[in-house]
Copies of this chain bind each other. A is one copy, B any other.
Amino acid sequence: MNISGIFPPVATPFDEREEIDLAAFTANVTRYMETRLAGVVVLGSNGEAPLLTEEEGVRLVAAARAVVPRGRVLVAGAGEESTRATIAGARRLAAAGADAVLVRTPGYFKTQLTQEVFIRHFTAVADASPVPVIIYNAAPFTGVNLLPPAVARLSEHPNIVGIKETSPDIAQVTEFVSVVRPPFQVVVGSLPTLYASLCVGAVGGIVAGANVVPGLCVELYELVRQKRFAEALALQRRLTPLARSVTSLYGPGGLKAAMDLAGYRGGKPRAPLPPASPQAVDVIRNQLAELA
């Protein structure tokens, strides 16, 4: 299971009644498949997964499967607070067509979630999952952090193929790459850290900006592969302002506004997540113009 390259954590478009707009979703994914993206991640944070039902998740994965060819990788987010619900999700989403599942660390009972607990959790999930597992370490969302020694241990499991790290702590990314057992793969979850992470040995990125400017994200990846470092760094610098807007700054509302401006189908996030304000839309429009 090769997860190198660039994946968009695809947004989930809704209609006016906040129901999933499968046609819009399929249209976006279809267009993404016309680029050199390595695949897509459905049911990620940027897909508003915490605001979706189980049944909606299955529909989205099945719809993606219909347009993601077998040569690309269809990853589905499957993290839940309990081990058993995570396993059930992995089975359900694999049955719906996922090639791999992305499993977020639990995060609610922070004082109880020790490194040992994480190791047991991911091991049990990986033992039971019919498809490979990618660990998702998302401290900015969950408030808990999976440390290098635990990741080293988990990298020995034959059904755990990699980790997505969302924090911008490059020392941690560097250590992950250093301590894991090949062919375990490290990818990052944040476009502003993509270039640096590729330099230290990460093999790709699951980055929100790839919903908006997939071609440029792939270009950054390929420039590094071709060792054209100065060009890659210059492109990284150009991409960072937009990358901030569609994640930390304006959230899913900002991401969807950017998609609308870039010719994809975004729309509004599900309540209570706010849509981008008119001021935010102006900022994003200018950032896109700079990239054109």
Give chain A's interface residues, CB within 8 Å of chain B.
18, 45, 50-53, 80-85, 106, 108-114, 116-118, 120-121, 124, 140-141, 143, 168-175, 177-178, 190, 192-193, 195-197, 199-201, 229, 233, 236-237, 240, 248-253, 270-274
Contacts and interface: CB of A to CB of B under 8 A. Distances in A.
A271 B121 contact: yes
A45 B109 CA distance: 9
A249 B118 CA distance: 18
B83 A272 contact: yes
A141 B108 contact: yes
- Interface core residue of A18, A80, A111, A273 (most chain B CB under 10 Å): A273
Nearest to A238: B178
A196 B174 CA distance: 8
A226 to B, nearest CB: 13
Contacts of A121: 271-272
A222 to B, nearest CB: 17
B200 A196 contact: yes
A174 B191 CA distance: 12
Given A143-B143, A252-B112, A171 B168 contact: yes
Nearest to A172: B168
Given A171-B193, A195-B200, A273 B84 contact: no
A85 B273 CA distance: 13
